[in-house]
Amino acid sequence: MTSLTLNDARMIPQLGLGTYQIPDAQVAAIVRGGLDAGFRLIDTAAIYHNERGVGEGLVHDDVFLTTKLWNDRHADAAAALDESLALLGRDEVDLYLIHWPRPEADDYVDAWRALVDLREAGKTRSIGVSNFLPEHLDRIIAETGVTPAVNQIELHPTFQQRDCVAYHADHGIVTQSWSPLGQGETLKDDRIVAIADRLGATPAQVIIAWHLAKGFSVIPKTANVDRLPSNFAAQEVKLADDDIAAIDAMNDRDGRMGPHPNEL
Ligand SMILES: NC(=O)c1ccc[n+]([C@@H]2O[C@H](COP(=O)([O-])OP(=O)(O)OC[C@H]3O[C@@H](n4cnc5c(N)ncnc54)[C@H](OP(=O)(O)O)[C@@H]3O)[C@@H](O)[C@H]2O)c1
């Protein structure tokens, strides 16, 4: 499996498994199925209320585990991470992210300072953010001198966030795509289906292969164990330059499906 090098010199698997909306009671089986299929990156968050189940499913040691600080804990990040670690049954995670900047509260710089301390304390190996716009990134970098390793943002063929991606490239930040399949909607798009039919691949494989070809880390979610092996095998699907260009051309600046980062 391909890995990307983070700006703190650690490695992150490029392809991972998302767990949003998978209930705590069901997620252990999905995580185990994901590990059986080959996944070695699991993405959860305190707000998903499934960290206990994710922890139960982690039957291998060599798994890159991400969790996230929820919005009402920006002033309380150390205790929040301890609570997540207790549920996950781990002494540390691989990556801890500030889930949303919540700029109205004006406390994300303090939260970022706390994450820097948590990395120093060995509670998380790497630190990053999610849903940060370039203006938020500018501020934490200027005020702390520490650049996030990852920014996890909404990114799919119909919402490609090119300004953010360019900023990340300039600053050595890995772009990680959330809702990479457009929450399942983009799987039905005729342009994706046509490429999939021609290549003998599934629409999900085509979209995941596009994220990988663009150099993003990508965390498609499925709650269906039968889909895990084929989603993981997307790494073997090789898109032609024309296919990548055709998917690039699907970009829609108004294609956002989730909340705007300044509005949550
Ligand atoms: N940082 C953030 O603010 C944030 C926000 C949203 C999401 N995320 C993360 O990103 C992950 C992925 O995003 P997402 O869950 O919103 O959406 P997504 O991965 O774009 O799409 C998931 C949808 O695609 C379907 N699907 C997956 N593989 C399929 C396949 N092979 N064939 C047919 N359908 C398939 C799933 O259905 P089934 O489950 O029925 O297979 C589900 O409906 C989340 O789980 C979470 O870890 C982060």
Domain boundaries, the chain: 12-248
* 183 pocket-lining for ligand 1 (C-beta < 6 Å): yes
Q: Are 73 and 45 in contact (CB under 8 A)?
A: no
Q: Measured from the CA of 231, which atom of ligand 1 is nearest?
A: 31
* 33 pocket-lining for ligand 1 (C-beta < 6 Å): no
> What pLDDT sits at residue 105?
97
Q: Are 6 and 150 in contact (CB under 8 A)?
A: yes
* 118 pocket-lining for ligand 1 (C-beta < 6 Å): no
Residue whose CA lies nearest to ligand 1 atom number 11: 18
Q: How far apart are CA 18 and CA 97, in angstroms?
A: 14
Fill in the amino acid letter for 171: H
- Length of the chain, in residues: 264
CA atoms within 13 A on the CB side of 41: 21
Q: How far apart are CA 139 and CA 2, in angstroms?
A: 31
> What pLDDT sits at residue 1?
83
Indicate the Cα dihedral angle 107, 133, 209, 125, nearest 10°: -30
Q: Are 37 and 229 in contact (CB under 8 A)?
A: yes
Counting Cβ atoms within 10 Å, is residue 214 exposed (0-12), middle (13-18) or buried (19+)?
middle
Q: How far apart are CA 184 and CA 150, in angstroms?
A: 24
Return per-residue pLDDT of the chain as tens, 264 residues: 899 999 999 999 999 999 999 999 999 999 999 999 999 999 999 999 999 999 999 998 899 999 999 999 999 999 999 999 999 999 999 999 999 999 999 999 999 999 999 999 999 999 999 999 999 999 999 999 999 999 999 999 999 999 999 999 999 999 999 999 999 999 999 999 999 999 999 999 999 999 999 999 999 999 999 999 999 999 999 999 999 999 999 999 999 999 999 998
Q: Are 6 and 173 in contact (CB under 8 A)?
A: no
Closest to 90 in 3D by CA, of 134, 120, 126, 51: 51
Assigned CATH for 12-248: 3.20.20.100
State which of 15, 17, 20, 160 you would mutate to test the pocket of ligand 1, scoring each by most atoms of that ligand within 8 A of its C-beta: 20
> What pLDDT sits at residue 264?
80
Helices (H), the chain: 24-37, 51-57, 77-88, 108-120, 134-144, 162-171, 190-199, 203-213, 228-232, 241-248
Closest to 85 in 3D by CA, of 121, 110, 38: 121
Sheet containing strand 174-178, edge to edge, reads 17-18, 41-43, 64-69, 93-98, 124-130, 150-154, 174-178, 217-218
Closest to 223 in 3D by CA, of 16, 15, 28: 28
Residue tagged active-site, from 48, 96, 108, 167: 48
The owner of tokens 């960290």 is 51
Whole-prediction pTM: 0.98
Counting Cβ atoms within 10 Å, is residue 238 exposed (0-12), middle (13-18) or buried (19+)?
exposed
Q: How do beta strands 17-18 and 41-43 pair? A: parallel
